[in-house]
Amino acid sequence: MVSRKFRVIKPEIRVLGVDDGVFTPHMKGLVPVVGVVFRGGYWLDGVMHTKVEVDGFDATEKIASMIINSPHYKQLRVIMLDGITFAGFNVVNIKELNSETKLPVITVTREQPNFAEIREALKNLSKSEERWKIIKSTGRMFEVSTRSENEKVYMQTSGILEEDARKILQLTSTRSSVPEALRVAHLIASGISKT
């Protein structure tokens, strides 16, 4: 899908932040995934949820379905994911998510991933090469200063220009270095998780 160019990024742009809950690694089961709709970095507009399998292969499909079937779908302008792995190594294919939802996707992590460690960890799972291929296809990682020069996150994108993604992260990171939608999605997902 062609990268979208925003003519103007409104202060109240509706973004969706998606994060998963707490889970016990290597245990079979489902993990809650929460999506939080924010207008800019200030107003919570809605919440959606789904479940994905620990170390499974259903994250892209389940998240896309959650978004498309949400009453908020038509108002959304951008999807933000807390990284590309959910419930362990259930990897989200952001290009596919972008294509399915017709919405730009931005992944956000607080720390730059160590790809050598990830590659090694994947060897313990089934279809490790398939998972690695999705991770490698996600594209270039960009360092972004959000609220100040000292507050940095790392992003990867699909369906959006780098400069627009940077502006959206800076606009929506009002209370911490990460966008509010992701911060609140993390709080809710963690709060409803069974450990």
Asked, for residue 7, whether it belongs to a domain, the answer is: no
Asked, for residue 26, whether it belongs to a domain, the answer is: yes
Residue 177 φ/ψ, nearest 5 degrees: -75, -15
Asked, for residue 6, whether it belongs to a domain, the answer is: no
SS3 (DSSP) at 96 = helix
Which range of residues forms the domain containing residue 23? 14-191
Asked, for residue 1, whether it belongs to a domain, the answer is: no
Asked, for residue 2, whether it belongs to a domain, the answer is: no
CATH of the domain at 132: 3.30.2170.10
Contact 67, 48 (CB under 8 A): yes
Asked, for residue 69, whether it belongs to a domain, the answer is: yes
Answer yes or no: is pLDDT of 6 > 90: no
Quick one: how far is CA 173 from the chain centroid?
Answer: 15
State how far the Cα of 150 lies from the Cα of 169, in Å rounded to an integer: 15
**Is residue 54 very low, low, confident or very high in pLDDT (cuts 50, 70, 90)?**
very high
**Could you report the per-residue pLDDT of 18-52, keeping only the tens digit for each?**
999 998 877 889 999 999 999 999 999 999 999 99
Q: How many residues can be counted in the chain? A: 195
Q: Tell me which amino acid residue 97 is.
A: L
State how far the Cα of 28 lies from the Cα of 92, in Å rounded to an integer: 19
What does the pLDDT average to over 155-184?
96
Answer yes or no: is pLDDT of 61 > 70: yes
Asked, for residue 165, whether it belongs to a domain, the answer is: yes
State how far the Cα of 184 lies from the Cα of 93, in Å rounded to an integer: 23
Number of domains observed in the structure of the chain? 1
